């Protein structure tokens, strides 16, 4: 391997400007170009086997890996450094307070085509392969024992001597792992794992799901998985018989990891993932049982188009958000007034029926004056933000309707307060 590492003696807590933590077992250092000696930013640094939280080098090429408590000073750790355009660095290093100078050798691999237009197909492959209803996993036209995999902007190679690699990780969890099995490339991925909602996984290219609305298609050059909104949450595309590109959206707990042509980014479940964040469109027509995985030649977005009209459609974003903020302030004030009346009723030891009457009056007033306007604003915000992944806070509008329909006292004042927060937060995102 054409990568080298130099161990530098440490001055008290500082080596060439690189801070070395004083407590805990760590691996720290600088990653640079072996030819130009320039620091390499945004290189992925990991300890193989999940023995440390991964890190990404900063603008000066610096990184710090904080090792697991089970790793003792002096114990051997396999360090891996990856950056697109460079050979992957793999070396066994003794854990401890040593600063590492890691040199990556630049390479010039073939640049994979974007999966939205996979035209570099293997010889003899048809442009559309009608696959029967799926009873077996996808089989690809592979012609090499060495595979180049690009996940977002992270690249690596798999060979019989290096047959598996975690391509995307989140803490100690590997979200996407590539493996060679009998000279065939297979992928394992966790696409969705949220308490109480179910799991969606890819295991050796097979889709395993608790959500029946999700679907999968493949042909001889691509594997794709879509969610209930037909968003392509996983793409694995062969740009050549030995070059593979992977993109996806991975919802795990309270974090959404977005792997796109821009690289790897993380969002909270309450944040919007937009088309700008994830510019990946569908490859196939769905449902798969109807279209048998024929290619989607439409240039339309993966997300169904919203209505072309609405009460706020002609407003500039600044004007629209001014109205949204005003409406949010109005319903917050209504909720505050209701709360004040409830506190007074409780202090006066009024019966529960009187307090429920206050709650019902508040709900009736809100539904009459404001429920339709907040629905319209919600719809307009979705149209302008174009989220690909539903925010956790979207459920508040369903709760509003359910409470009005089934709760004897109607819409709960805390639900109205949450709607106000959602409106303000969404407009803040729109203004960025």
Q: Are 302 and 281 in contact (CB under 8 A)?
A: yes
User: 289-292: long-range contacts at Cβ-Cβ below 8 A with a sequence spacing of 24 or more?
Assistant: 289/133, 292/130, 292/131, 292/132, 292/133
The pLDDT > 70 percentage for the chain reads: 79
- 29/268 Cα distance (integer angstroms): 29
More confident residue, 303 or 14: 303
State the DSSP H helix or E strand holding residue 416, giving kind and residue range, or none if neither.
helix 413-431
Q: Are 282 and 269 in contact (CB under 8 A)?
A: no
Summarize the confidence of residues 390-396 as an average pLDDT.
Answer: 70
**What's the confidence (pLDDT) of residue 306?**
40
- 43/105 Cα distance (integer angstroms): 13
Q: With the C-alpha atoms ordered 91, 96, 98, 100, is the resulting torsion angle positive or negative?
A: positive
How far, CA to CA in Å, does 383 sit from each of 115, 176, 316, 387, 429?
25, 31, 13, 8, 13
Q: Residues 73-119: pLDDT tens digits?
A: 778 888 888 887 788 888 888 776 456 778 888 875 333 333 333 33
Of 154-168, 262-276, 405-419, highest mean pLDDT: 405-419
Of 116-120, 201-205, 263-267, 310-314, highest mean pLDDT: 201-205
Of 127-131, 132-136, 142-146, 311-315, highest mean pLDDT: 311-315
86 phi, psi to nearest 5 deg: -135, 155
């Amino acid at each position: 391997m054409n990568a080298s590492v130099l161990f530098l003696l440490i001055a008290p807590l500082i080596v060439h400007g690189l801070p070395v933590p004083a407590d805990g077992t760590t691996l720290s250092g600088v990653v640079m170009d072996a030819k130009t000696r320039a620091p390499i930013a945004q290189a992925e640094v990991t300890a193989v086997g999940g023995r440390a939280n991964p890190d990404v080098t900063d603008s000066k090429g610096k990184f710090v890996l904080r090792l697991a408590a089970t790793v003792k000073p002096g114990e051997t750790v396999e360090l891996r450094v990856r950056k697109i355009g460079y050979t992957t660095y793999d070396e066994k290093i003794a854990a401890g307070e040593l600063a590492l100078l890691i040199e990556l050798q630049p390479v010039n691999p073939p640049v994979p085509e974007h999966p939205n237009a996979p035209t570099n197909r293997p010889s003899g492959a048809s442009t559309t392969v009608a696959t029967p209803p799926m009873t077996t996993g996808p089989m690809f036209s592979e012609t090499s024992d060495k595979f180049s995999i690009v996940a977002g902007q992270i690249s690596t190679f798999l060979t019989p001597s290096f047959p598996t690699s975690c391509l995307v990780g989140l803490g100690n969890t590997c979200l996407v792992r590539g493996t060679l099995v009998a000279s065939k490339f297979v992928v394992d991925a966790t696409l969705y794992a949220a308490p109480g909602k179910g799991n969606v996984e890819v295991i050796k290219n097979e889709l395993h799901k608790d959500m029946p609305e999700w679907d999968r298609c493949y042909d001889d050059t691509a594997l794709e998985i879509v969610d209930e909104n037909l968003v392509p949450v996983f793409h694995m595309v062969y740009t050549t018989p030995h070059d593979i590109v992977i993109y996806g959206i991975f919802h795990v707990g309270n974090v959404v990891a977005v792997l796109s042509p821009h690289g790897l980014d993380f969002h909270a479940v309450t944040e919007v993932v937009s088309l700008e964040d994830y510019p990946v469109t569908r490859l196939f027509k769905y449902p798969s049982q109807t279209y048998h995985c024929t290619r989607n030649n439409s240039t339309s977005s993966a997300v169904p188009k919203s209505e072309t009209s609405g009460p706020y459609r002609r407003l500039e974003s600044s004007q629209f958000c001014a109205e949204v903020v005003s409406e949010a302030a109005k319903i917050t004030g209504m909720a505050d007034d209701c709360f004040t009346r409830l506190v007074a009723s409780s202090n006066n030891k009024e019966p529960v029926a009187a307090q429920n009457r206050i709650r019902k009056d508040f709900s009736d007033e809100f539904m009459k004056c404001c429920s339709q306007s907040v629905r319209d604003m919600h719809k307009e915000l979705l149209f302008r933000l174009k989220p690909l992944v539903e925010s956790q806070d979207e459920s508040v509008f369903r709760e509003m309707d359910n409470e009005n329909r089934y709760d004897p006292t109607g819409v709960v004042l805390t639900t109205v307060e949450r709607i106000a927060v959602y409106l303000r937060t969404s407009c803040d995102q729109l203004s960025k």
